With several copies, the nearest count.
Chain A
Amino acid sequence: MTRSMTMAKALNAGLRRALEADPTVLLAGEDIGKLGGVFRITEHLQRDFGPERVVDSPLAESGIVGTALGLALRGYRPIVEIQFDGFVWPAFDQIVSQVSRMRFRSMGRLSAPLVIRIPYGGGIGAIEHHSESPEAYFAHTPGLVVVSPSTPLDAYWMIQQAVASDDPVIFLEPKRRYHEKGEVDLSEPPLAMDAARVVLQGTDATLLTYGPMVKTCVEAALAAQAEGRSLEVVDLRALSPLDDAAIRASVEKTGRAIVVHEAVRSGGLGAEIAARLQEECFYALEAPVLRVTAYDMPYPPSRVEKNYLPDLDRILDAVDRSLAH
């Protein structure tokens, strides 16, 4: 059964299915009840599942994540919403020192199967703290699974897979894609959430990307096609742990890799991918792994975000530079 829906609706449908499937699943966060979340991802869920399973939390992110961990220890599978990327930092201690380590600290006896949903990324014309890309901070933290869907289909399935995961999952939702539509096959998941996906086959170079930039990279690849260039686009989907095999397979084939993300360059996910690729495919690389990213400054006022974030032209420029090697 396939239906066309936005990512926002797909997430809503995925959460609904998770709530139906497992009575231990519950949702918590700021404004997720009557309002349905500021992005309406949880719309009507409180109405349909009650305020015990869809909980409006006090305004305190550390409290939200810390109590969710307590609920997880009691056998629940909480899915918490952080309202915007920039508001996850107050919960950072709970995530980094507690959630990520419960299994390790308890010598494997306990786990913390909770999902932390975070709308992330820019391009929506917002004020400060509402356009951040915090993925690298989480990816540097052992014990956390970090994933990001790029399509409604993936959003629908990956949120359910995240809920089913026995490890804590940082679930990054590319908010600028919330309202774009896609076909969603409701019958069976196409892929596990720890696997990357080749979105577009190509031979000249590989664009490695995720979340909000997948669409931009596909557009760049299509534009490049018009100029006779064949670009492969890989949607990482899993940001940590990475699907190294898929990444390597593509780059060994094309010999060229360009990582594209919205987060600032230094210390971003592109750094880790470049480091791994040059280490593992040293002789297969025809050119250095390039990075098309935001620049190393805080997120600027929204009227300049288009110049700050990667776009089609900057991606193609990097492709040119890669191919010039």
Chain B
Amino acid sequence: MVGVVTTSHDPDEVFIQLLTPDGERVDDETFAFAHDDATIAANLRHMILGRRFDTEATALQRKGQLGLWPPSLGQEAAQVGSGAAVRDLDEVFPSYREHAVALMRGVDPLDMLKTFRGTGMVDWDSRATRFHLYSFVIGTQALHATGYAMGLQRDGLVGNDDPDANGAVLVYFGDGATSQGDVNEALVFAASYQAPVVFFVQNNQWAISEPIDVQSRIPLYRRASGFGIPGLRVDGNDVLAVQAVTEWALDRARRGEGPTLIEAFTYRMGAHTTSDDPTKYRRREEEAAWRAKDPIERVRTHLLATGAIDQAWLDGVDAEAEALGVRIREGVGQLPEPRLEDFWALAYASLPPALRRQRDAYQAYEASFEDADAEGAR
């Protein structure tokens, strides 16, 4: 018999950590960080750039340059650590908040801003970047990722002796998403087909205003066991632990050993989106407590302490971040304004008759104004 589990969401049982909030390296029984300081420094750089991108975008929204922005503030370690585990043949299916991963995959930040400025749909090349489109329907991408992973199996890209010939899928969603039927069906399918997919839950403890307890009374990593797949909980603010755990899970998937669910325990330090007002539903003390666990600070402290980086290195990254900021601030206003004409041809592979008539009528109608203007001008 499996009894009622009354564990709270506080990390008390499984909680993989390799770097404490104070920047101290600690050991985990099972998971080790397999890389050198250069990798950690590279991660720190991605986290700093990711945060800068996010801060700039948030500011741009405040200035009316974007319609909306979902900040990733506080989730940099979860994103960069997992993103760092991705290899060439892997594919990433994001939710809508994985801005830091997007940058790592080579998505142009201005392309990302188009979506939130409303000048484009989701305007990046997901094939080239292997970073799929943002999904705004909660949880839906878990199924697409699982299907894609089933495709990798069929393509013979799983379980080969040569590890470089193998790929896997990494899919992101939030704590709230775990309640959706689609996410649970994805676990069913992934388990049934032993698909090479890693479900990466960023448990930032809030789904807009709903605390995680509304979704689940037990830690989310335990959901996995009910579907017969391994579940792991990692300190989501510890980029080392996140990378180690994600590498383990992706490797497993690539080897053909099936799916894993990772719960990265982290915190949404900002609002849900720029339209949100967290003061309505959560206490400042909670936010302050989590600020003390900042994912960037601990890495910086650690690397400075070990001497792996110095102030000059940090200044260099800051300069890079500033250049990114300039590029974004200058670029956003120059993003081309879309015209309805750009979209007629995107609904179908070829324009259907009724839509063609609608387009023709629209063009004639628009032209009538131009004619009128022209006449007025004469």
Asked if residues A67 and B214 are in contact (CB atoms below 8 Å), the reply is: no
Q: Which of chain A's residues 88-142 have a Cβ closer than 8 Å to chain B?
A: 89-90, 93-94, 97-98, 103-111, 125-130, 142
Q: Inside 8 A of A307's CB, which chain B residues have their CB?
A: 339-340, 362
The reply to whether B349 and A111 contact each other, CB–CB distance below 8 Å, is: yes
| Chain B residue contacts of A127, Cβ below 8 A | 67-68, 115-116, 118, 136
Verify if A145 is at the interface (C-beta below 8 Å from B): yes
Contact A70 B281 (CB under 8 A): no
List B314-338 residues whose CB lies under 8 Å from chain A.
Answer: 337-338
B177 (CB) vs chain A CBs: closest residue:
A59
In the complex, A228 Cα to B90 Cα: how many Å?
A: 66
Q: Which of B121, B147, B186 contacts A106 (CB 8 A)?
A: B121
Task: Say yes or no: A86 contacts B137, CB within 8 Å.
Answer: yes
Task: Compute how far the CA of A305 lies from the CA of B303 in the bound complex, rounded to whole angstroms.
Answer: 49
CB atoms of A110 and B126 under 8 A apart: yes
**CA separation between A31 and B138, bound complex, in Å?**
14
Q: Are B343 and A63 neighbours in the complex by a CB distance under 8 Å?
A: no
Q: CB < 8 Å: which of B68, B119, B123, B181 contacts A90?
A: B181
- Given A93-B140, A303-B119 in contact, is the A30-B180 Cβ separation under 8 Å? no
Known contacts being A70-B145, A109-B125, is A304 close to B345, with CB within 8 Å?
no
Does B144 make an interface contact (CB < 8 A)? yes
A252 within 8 A of B: no
Q: How far is the CA of A125 from the CA of B122 in the complex (A)?
A: 15
B209 x A73 contact (CB < 8 A): no
Q: Does B36 contact A (CB under 8 A)?
A: no
In the bound complex, CA of A308 to CA of B180 (Å): 32
Minimum CB–CB distance for B219 against chain A, Å: 16
Q: Does B51 contact A (CB under 8 A)?
A: no
Pairwise interchain contact B150-A71, C-beta atoms closer than 8 A = yes
Chain B positions 116 through 149: 1 when the CB is less than 8 Å from some CB of chain A, otherwise 0: 1111111101110000110011101011111111
A87: nearest chain-B partner, CB-CB? B137
Contact B126 A109 (CB under 8 A): yes
Q: Are B208 and A167 in contact (CB-based, < 8 A)?
A: no
Q: Is the CB of B127 within 8 A of A34?
A: no
Query: On chain A, which size bracket covers the interface?
Result: 35 or more
Asked whether B362 lies within 8 Å of A302 as measured between CB atoms, the reply is no
Interface residues of A in 215-260 (CB under 8 A from B): 241-245
Q: Which residue of A lies closest to B96 (CB)?
A: A127
CB-CB under 8 A from A126, the residues of chain B are 67-68
Q: In the assembly, what is the distance between CA of A308 and CA of B118, in Å?
A: 13
Of A63, A93, A307, the most chain B CB neighbours within 10 A belong to: A63
Contacts of A303 in B (CB 8 A): 117-119, 337-338
In the complex the two chains form, what is the Cα distance from A62 to B117 in whole Å? 31
Find out whether the CB atom of B210 lies under 8 angstroms from the CB atom of A56.
Answer: yes
Choose, from B76-84, B262-270, B351-359, the stretch at the interface: B351-359
- Across the interface, name the chain B residue whose C-beta is closest to A53: B154
Complex contact B348–A143 (CB within 8 A) = yes
Task: State whether the Cβ of A199 lies closer than 8 Å to any Cβ in chain B.
Answer: no
Chain A positions near chain B (C-beta within 8 angstroms): 26, 30-31, 33-36, 38, 52, 56-60, 62-63, 65-76, 86-87, 89-90, 93-94, 97-98, 103-111, 125-130, 142-143, 145, 165-167, 241-245, 265-266, 276, 295-298, 300-304, 307-308, 314, 317
Q: Given A74-B148, A241-B353, list of 8 further CB < 8 A pairs? A: A30-B208, A31-B208, A60-B180, A62-B143, A69-B143, A93-B182, A107-B122, A303-B338
